[in-house]
Amino acid sequence: MLRVLVLLFISLSLFSDDYSFDMGEVEPEPYEYSGYLRVDNKYQHLDKPEDKYQNYLHLEALLNFTYFHDIYKLKTSLMANYDHINNKLAKSDFPINELYAEAKINTNHSILGGKESLQWGKGYFFNPVAYFDRPKDPQQPTQTREGFVISKYSYNKSFNSSSLKNLSFDFVYLPASESINKDYYNLITNQENSHNIATRLYILLYDTDIDFVYNYSDEADNKIGIDFSKNILSNFEIHGEYSKIISDDYSYLLGLRYLTDFELTIISEYLYKSAGLDKEEIKSSITNIPFIAKDYAITLITQKEPLDILYFSVYYKNMINLQDYSQQNKVGVNYSFKNNINLDLSYNLNTGSNLSEFGKKQVSDFTWIRMTWNY
């Protein structure tokens, strides 16, 4: 399995090339597709005296395919994964990220049924109002995520106004049981069959994107939320999200994106969770999922084409737990080749006291090489 995937990646990479043609001579196709083949290799330094180093290999393939016919759209997103650690792990996984049919009834109304990744929220690293989305991985927040099986009705209307320019409304139904949306059934509704509804009202008001979100469940806590995004300047954007369990805890996120005139991009966010763990609770926690603490600060800084080196960028990312002040740091370089191959090399370091969140990670630091061929 491992050899076949590696050979396939190399073969496609070698035969990929640049092509040019006149778009006017090509009739629109009723379908579109995209995807990638990816190799990740992490050389990890372990916090174990008997086993100090290990090599973690991850292979990944993604295919997105969309077919259009009249008022209908059929979309699927298929993924294949293979993970390997010598003498420890050899696992394959083939998730269906998305598979749904959508009908655009008229200009304003559409209905959808199937598995979709909604991607609600404005945050880059975390989304408190994304009630029907799987959590992001803070190490790779733009990674494609598996959706849930839903039914959705959408309404959209544009206005010729200087204040309210656009309005849309989504009504989403998500059933959860042992046989459908099992992850939601296990994690959110405590293994109880449930009927779950989320609604979102979006408005574009005075060039500010605003969402009002409500989540109802006959088994889990009901929630309300709001998010916004606003361009203060053409190169400066602020965003935020607020979510509250109606009778209990709340969380919020505030963030910004700034682009300098020499193409340095800064993304910085602050996350607070009232139900998160404090410093003393973190010491005894064995939970190994992201964002367990009450609050975090995360910053990503990317410099495009330093020293005028085309297709090249350098970056630095810092994630700090503001309860115990442990950190994740990442510094890396990225280069995009002309044949749609992207190479990323980074060094990643977890620091903190022995009982802090990042200080007690089994992997203290690692070098990460990622090669992706996009098509």
Q: What is the band of 228 on the pLDDT scale with cuts at 50, 70, 90?
A: very high
As a whole number, the mean pLDDT across the chain is 93
pLDDT of residue 28: 79
pTM here? 0.89
User: Is the pLDDT score of 11 beyond 90?
Assistant: no
Question: pLDDT digit string (tens) for 322-342?
Answer: 999 999 999 999 999 989 999
Q: Where are the domains of the chain?
A: 1-60+276-375, 95-250
Alpha-carbon span 66 to 77, nearest angstrom: 9
pLDDT category of residue 373 using cuts at 50, 70 and 90: very high
Q: What is the DSSP string of 290-335?
A: S--BSEEEEEEEEEESGGG-TTEEEEEEEEEETTT--EEEEEEEEE
pLDDT band at 12 (very low <50, low <70, confident <90, very high): very low
Give the strand pairing for 89-93 and 72-85. antiparallel
pLDDT in tens, 279-307: 999 999 998 899 999 999 999 999 999 99
Mean pLDDT of 190-212: 97
The pLDDT value given to residue 25: 59
Check whether 10 has a pLDDT greater than 60: no
Q: Choose the weakest-confidence range: 24-38, 84-98, 298-312.
A: 24-38
Looking at residue 26, what is its pLDDT? 61
The pLDDT, as a whole number, for residue 48 is 79
- Measured in whole angstroms, the distance separating CA 103 from the mean position of its chain's CA atoms is 26
Three-state secondary structure call for residue 287: coil
Q: pLDDT, tens digit, for every residue of 130-173? A: 999 999 999 999 999 999 999 999 999 999 999 999 999 999 99
